[in-house]
A = this chain, B = another copy of it.
Amino acid sequence: MGLSVSTVSKALNDSHEISHGTKVKVLALSKKLKYRPNTLAKNLKQNRTNTIGVIIPDLLNYYFVKALNGIQESAEKQGYSIITCITNESLENEVRYSEMLTNGSVDGLIVALSIETQKNKHFNHFKQLIKNEFPLVLFDRVSDEINCSQIISNDENGGAQAAEHLYQAGCRCPLVVVVNSDLEVIKRREEGFTSAWHQLSGGHVVMRLEVGDLDESEDEIDNFLKNHAQIDGAFAVDERLGIKTLKCAIDVGRTVPSNFKIIATSDGELSKEYSPSLSVIDLRENKIGSSAAEEVVRQIKSKFLKPKTTIIAPKLLVRSSS
């Protein structure tokens, strides 16, 4: 129809410098020809992609899936897509993915560190990004050594809420059941519980059981409960571990909740559907995810924001196990 590419481009983008008539014609023709602007070229030219990269350790972990869901919802609301990579808790994958994504594919990055990364304290790949002022937000699995915005839940407070709840429910000799104690979040939950308990009980030390493999933990828990008849409650640092503990408690003859009260960290289908249903500290992962997405978009839109840490307060959900 004899119009230059730039006119067409402007018309398609509804530029003010194009006459209404032309716009209508161009739009009509583009419909008919099913014109599809190439996103890649557009992104390359504009130096932005409207995409957020998300790097998480594990998709089969309900915690991360809920956070991912929150990220996705919030990102979509703000006009961003997400591209997701799974590290399988491997540092090498984490490095590879973060380099891959930040080479132009995404405008910002949301990350939960892998176990290996947290163990080895190997953060160069992220420090480099920060030096280049690339928008980066960490959530849940974070580190003080990385100077960027972080979204975390108040795990200590969650542990403390659990302690307070158990105490008020009449529990006097609780067991803390732990797995993956390498993780900062786990340490904080445990620390929150034990120090709150110490205070509540006037100096009582709480018992502690750390299991190795979650899947193989039932015997360990069974035995521990059998050998320590005085235990009348439990705080598990993880939902599945909480279910295991609940199951074991019933197996070895404890009566839940009257003589044995139990609560775990993190809410999920298991806790809700189990019978008896399990009381939990809800970490509000969806909120954590959406906050992370909001923060990374803020950083994308205006550079040179100084890092801030957002703390999401956990919520006590009392069910039938306490």
Q: How many copies does the complex hold?
A: 2
Is A130 engaged at the interface, CB distance under 8 Å to the other chain? no
Instruction: A247 to B270: give the CA distance in the assembly, Å.
Output: 13
Size range of the interface on A?
A: 35 or more
* A81–B100 CB distance below 8 A: yes
Q: Mark A224-254, 1 if CB is under 8 A from B, else 0.
A: 0000000000000000100110010010000
Is A213 engaged at the interface, CB distance under 8 Å to the other chain? no
Within 8 Å CB of A38, what residues of B? 44, 103-104
Is A40 engaged at the interface, CB distance under 8 Å to the other chain? yes
Instruction: A36 to B273: give the CA distance in the assembly, Å.
Output: 49
* B85–A81 CB distance below 8 A: yes
What are 8 A-B pairs at a CB distance below 8 A?
A40-B44, A51-B83, A60-B66, A72-B84, A72-B86, A81-B85, A250-B275, A275-B275
Instruction: A76 to B85: give the CA distance in the assembly, Å.
Output: 9
* B270–A273 CB distance below 8 A: yes
The residue of chain B having its C-beta at the shortest distance from the C-beta of A49 within the complex is B40
Instruction: A105 to B37: give the CA distance in the assembly, Å.
Output: 11
Known: A38-B103, A59-B68, A69-B86. 4 other contacts (CB 8 A): A40-B49, A40-B104, A240-B269, A244-B273
Within 8 Å CB of A34, what residues of B? 128
Smallest Cβ distance from A300 to chain B, in angstroms?
16
Is A82 engaged at the interface, CB distance under 8 Å to the other chain? yes
Instruction: A36 to B34: give the CA distance in the assembly, Å.
Output: 35
Instruction: A103 to B105: give the CA distance in the assembly, Å.
Output: 15
Within 8 Å CB of A244, what residues of B? 273
Instruction: A181 to B82: give the CA distance in the assembly, Å.
Output: 31
* B59–A65 CB distance below 8 A: yes
The residue of chain B having its C-beta at the shortest distance from the C-beta of A60 within the complex is B69
The residue of chain B having its C-beta at the shortest distance from the C-beta of A62 within the complex is B269
Candidates B39, B60, B85, B100; contact of A65 at CB < 8 Å: B60
